């Protein structure tokens, strides 16, 4: 009987404890549910990755043009500020010299009782001496007037120089800000493109390169099928030949944004350097080369001419004849020969 009571009591205690514990466990489970599994994102195809990488490098090319233009303008404004500073120094030296001359004239007038030396001669009672020195007095008056006029003009010039220097300084600082922003944009886009490439397996990277080449081959074939080469003159001028020889001699050197040689180039740095070697100075960026150089119809293209690509003129290469061009493609690539129609052509310019 006692055993039965003890067993019953033990069961009762266990049941009570179980009943007390159950709400706590249930409440705890309700208060902290497991987070839902994140949705599975569809994987990008290699073609989508290729287009994204190509887009990032294109954006980097646009930013590179902006950087190069800002850098060119910064150089020009720095040179102009130095030139104006020299003019200001020269002007101040001239003002000091004119002031010294004016001071000497004033001291001479004071010593002669308020009259210059020539006026003393005019006041003589000798008629002949008066006639001899009347002309000298007129010359002295003119010299004094000219001296004051020159001082006034020089001071006005100094004011203009100082204003111009201030304007150029403001532009210089604005272009430095543009350079810094463009530099950040370039680095960000290149870093994003390289990150995408680095996430690919070696086999995928090889396939990506083949896809790029196939895309370029398809574009080049379509371009050639238009008959664009029919009747094209492959004869370069003497200057054009020198430009082509320089550009092709750089094959194998790496693309580096903002580079103008001799160890590396960006696209417009290569074309500018090539034509510079041929004795013709041309603008620094592909957009400025497109904007400022004479344009020619593609059917009149000849070796040495520059082919501008894409609607924003963000890339440029040099035609070398037989449907080919030499260019610095993009970061991670070297200066190379490619089909002239392997990218979207905007137009052709001729530096000479």
Catalytic residues: 267, 315, 327
Q: Write the CB contacts of 146 (distance below 8 Å, at least 6 apart in sequence).
A: none
Q: How far apart are CA 245 and CA 326, in angstroms?
A: 10
Matching residue, tokens 């008056």: 141
For residue 85, count other CB atoms closer than 10 A to its CB.
Answer: 13
SS3 (DSSP) at 328:
coil
Q: How far apart are CA 180 and CA 40, in angstroms?
A: 39
Cβ atoms of 185 and 63 closer than 8 Å: yes
Closest CA to 263 of 271, 274, 254: 254
Q: How far apart are CA 91 and CA 70, in angstroms?
A: 31
Matching residue, tokens 């497109």: 290
Query: Positive or negative, the Cα torsion across 228, 322, 308, 211?
Result: positive
Q: Which two tokens stand for residue 267?
A: 């696209």
Q: For every residue of 36-65, which 3-state class applies, written as one string?
A: CCCCCCCCCCHHHHHHHHHHHHHHHHHHHH
Cβ atoms of 310 and 274 closer than 8 Å: no
Closest CA to 341 of 251, 208, 225, 210: 225
Per-residue burial over 106-120, b = 16 or more CB atoms within 10 Å of its CB, e = otherwise: eeeeeeeeeebebbe
Cβ atoms of 234 and 303 closer than 8 Å: yes
Beta bridge pairs of residue 327: 336
């Amino acid at each position: 009987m006692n055993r039965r009571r003890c067993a019953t009591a033990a069961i009762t205690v266990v049941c009570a404890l179980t009943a007390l514990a159950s709400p706590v466990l249930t409440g705890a489970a309700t208060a902290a549910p497991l987070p839902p599994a994140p949705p599975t994102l569809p994987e990008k195809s290699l073609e989508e990755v290729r287009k994204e990488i190509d887009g990032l490098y294109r954006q980097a090319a646009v930013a590179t043009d902006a950087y190069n233009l800002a850098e060119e303008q910064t150089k020009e404004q720095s040179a102009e500020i130095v030139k104006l500073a020299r003019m200001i120094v020269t002007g101040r030296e001239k003002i000091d010299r004119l002031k010294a001359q004016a001071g000497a004239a004033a001291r001479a007038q004071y010593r002669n009782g308020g009259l210059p030396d020539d006026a003393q001669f005019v006041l003589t009672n000798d008629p002949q001496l008066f006639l001899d020195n009347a002309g000298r007095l007129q010359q002295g008056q003119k010299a004094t007037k000219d001296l004051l006029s020159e001082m006034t003009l020089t001071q006005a010039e100094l004011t203009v120089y100082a204003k111009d220097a201030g304007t150029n300084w403001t532009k210089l600082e604005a272009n430095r800000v543009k350079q810094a922003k463009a530099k950040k944009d370039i680095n960000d886009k290149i870093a994003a493109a390289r990150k995408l490439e680095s996430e690919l397996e070696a086999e995928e990277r090889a396939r990506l390169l083949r896809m790029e080449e196939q895309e370029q081959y398809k574009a080049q074939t379509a371009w050639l099928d238009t008959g664009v080469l029919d009747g094209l003159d492959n004869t370069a001028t003497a200057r054009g030949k020198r430009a082509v020889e320089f550009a092709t001699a750089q094959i194998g050197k790496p693309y580096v944004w903002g580079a103008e040689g001799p160890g590396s180039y960006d696209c417009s740095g290569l074309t500018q350097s090539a034509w510079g070697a041929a004795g013709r100075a041309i603008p620094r960026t592909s957009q400025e080369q497109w904007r400022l150089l004479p344009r020619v119809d593609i059917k009149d293209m000849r070796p040495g001419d520059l082919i501008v690509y894409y609607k924003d003129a963000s890339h440029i290469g040099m035609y070398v004849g037989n449907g080919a061009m030499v260019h610095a493609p993009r970061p991670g690539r070297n200066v190379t020969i490619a089909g002239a129609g392997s990218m979207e052509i905007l137009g052709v310019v001729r530096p000479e």
